Chain A
Amino acid sequence: MTVSRPLVGWLYISPLMLVLIPFFVLPILVVMVASVFETDGFGGLIPTFTLANYRNVLTSALTFNLYYETVKFTVLTWFFTLVLGFFIAYFLVFHVRSPLLAIGLFLICTVPFWTSNIIRMISWIPLLGKEGLINSALLRLGLIHEPLTFLLYSSFAVVVAYVHQLTIFMIVPIFNSMARIDKRVVEAAVDAGASRLDIMRLIVVPLSKSGIALGSIFVASIVMGDFFVTKVMSGGSSASVVGAFYEDISVLQYPGAAASAIVLTVILLAMVSLILRTVDIRKEITQ
């Protein structure tokens, strides 16, 4: 066997490229091309170069509002999933003493994610609704006199649904990187007189940075690219970037939708490369 090293690398990678080229590279190029075309208003594209679509997207106040809403949900969801995910992973790795029990508890966290996202989202409605379980329980206890209306069809409901769906994307990578922390390092720190806060700040957080980065990428890109949860759980009162170009498509405004799709993708990529700049994920494997 005298196959050169680069060739072996490319042989291994070629199936991946066979999927990425037709289903990522080409579609993105098509969207880019469509974003500088004119539309005839009936779904047809006229191949004349124009930047009007971008001008429309970048100058409208609507775009700004959409991004504000979407970024708000992204940041809130990211914060809550990070806090929950980090401490749950920490609990499983450092506090549960039997490895078998830790794996069992870990599986308990993951099993619900075998079901559909939509079911998991819809299932909040009977709880949060005006006549839902939470409201009727609070009414019966006499804590409130009229049903709380902010629970459902509000920003609160959107964040609840996102956190419910996405915490697992934080737990798994953070659990993974925490499980690799050598317990002897923690031992040594204790022997050297480190407090619990010091251990957390100087050992656990830095060593689980790659997990945190991966989880953040997953959560941020899913929330930014989603419109369904925002639409359903806010009852139509909050819009999202993707939701807006979904509307554009349904009225056959492809170039406008394509332009805003490109803007969103650029913003997402910038965000992710910022995250990747702080952590070298590839170092995990190449060493």
Chain B
Amino acid sequence: MSAAQETAALAPARAKQRAISPSRGGRPWTFYVLAALFTFYVVALYGPMICIYILSFQDVRGGLVFPMKGLSLHWFIDLFTQVRTGDVKGAFDRSIKLAILVTVITVVVSFMAAMAFRRRFPGDNVVFSLMIGSLVAPGLVLGIGVGLLFNALGIDTSWYGSALGAQLSWTLPFGVLVMFAVMSRFNPAWEEAARDLGATPWQTIRLVIIPVLAPGLVAVALFRYRLRGRKIPCRWRSGA
């Protein structure tokens, strides 16, 4: 790991400021063991995906095994010309819109909810339990419920209605929990100081809380976007 050597070279200069005891002075043996573990993890993380990307450049005879059969862009052309795979462009379009909507709503709503949970309010435990319940309930269970419910009410399931809601029912609790972690680093004294200096509640949020928490909010937004993977077959009813 050349990156680690680089830091090792930089280390003596900064050793004074940073007194992290397990790694003060020379590297302990655990460093090498854990560095090896980390490297192994990253290789295992990326290796299979890189294989798949390489395999995608095969020609018509290609399958999911090495060695590669030919080299072509056949499958990419196939993908975008909609002969066999259906409307990829439309699906891509819908996914992007859905992802952006989910991200924006999640950041705003989970920020507000986490603000509420900073203080106790009547019924807060009920809300908290509902949130945890929504987080752990299997997607398919809620999928059945949403399907039956919408069917009974005579509402059609659609990507911007039920699919969005189904995503949010998972991303919101997740977002609130991450927000808890983000907000636990916020010192309430800053908020009190703003109030003492005559800031209105809205000014406190806009000028103090949001700027301080901005990096955390970005983190939540990024995290959301990659968690869009709760696959609820919302369409199984209309398709059946």
Residue pair B45, A164 in contact (C-beta under 8 Å): yes
The minimal Cβ–Cβ distance linking B165 to chain A, given in whole angstroms, is 4
Interface members, chain A 1-58 (any B CB < 8 Å): 1, 5-6, 8-13, 15-17, 19-20, 22-31, 34, 43
Q: Could you tell me how many residues of chain A have their Cβ less than 8 Å away from some Cβ of chain B?
A: 106
| Residue in B closest to A125 when the chains form the complex, CB atoms | B64
Segment touching B, from A61-69, A71-79, A219-227: A219-227
Within 8 A of A (CB), among B107-135: 108-110, 112-124, 127-128, 130-135
A133 contacts across to B, CB distance below 8 A: 51, 66
Which of B112, B121, B134 sits near A24, CB closer than 8 Å? B134
**Interface flag for B137 (CB, 8 Å):** yes
Which segment, of B17-25, B71-79, B80-88, faces chain A? Answer: B17-25
Cα A109 to Cα B39 in complex, Å, equals 10
For the complex, what is the distance from the CA of A226 to the CA of B51, rounded to whole Å?
A: 25
Number of interface residues of B (CB under 8 A): 96
Within 8 Å CB of B23, what residues of A?
Answer: 94-95, 97
Task: Report the Cα distance A261→B147, complex, angstroms.
Answer: 14
Q: Which residues of B contact A279 (CB under 8 A)?
A: none
Q: Check B148–A183 contact: CB distance below 8 A.
A: no
Q: When A88-B41, A97-B18 are in contact, do A217 and B135 touch as well, CB less than 8 Å?
A: yes
Set B4, B64, B181, B231: member contacting A129, Cβ < 8 A: B64
0/1 string, A121-148, CB within 8 A of B gives 1: 0111111010111001000000000000
Across-interface contacts of B197 in A (CB, < 8 A): none
CB distance from B129 to the nearest CB of A (A): 8
- Min distance, Cβ A185 to any Cβ of chain B, angstroms: 10
Q: What would 16 A/B residue contacts be, using CB atoms closer than 8 Å? A: A13-B113, A16-B172, A31-B141, A31-B148, A95-B22, A97-B8, A97-B10, A105-B3, A127-B48, A164-B44, A164-B48, A199-B21, A218-B174, A265-B133, A265-B137, A285-B114
Residues of chain A having any CB pair with chain B under 8 Å: 1, 5-6, 8-13, 15-17, 19-20, 22-31, 34, 43, 84, 87-88, 90-92, 94-98, 101, 104-105, 108-110, 112-117, 119-120, 122-127, 129, 131-133, 136, 164, 167, 172-173, 176-177, 180, 183, 186-187, 189-190, 196, 199, 214, 217-218, 221, 224-228, 242, 245-246, 249, 252, 254, 257-258, 261, 264-265, 268-269, 272, 276, 281-282, 284-287
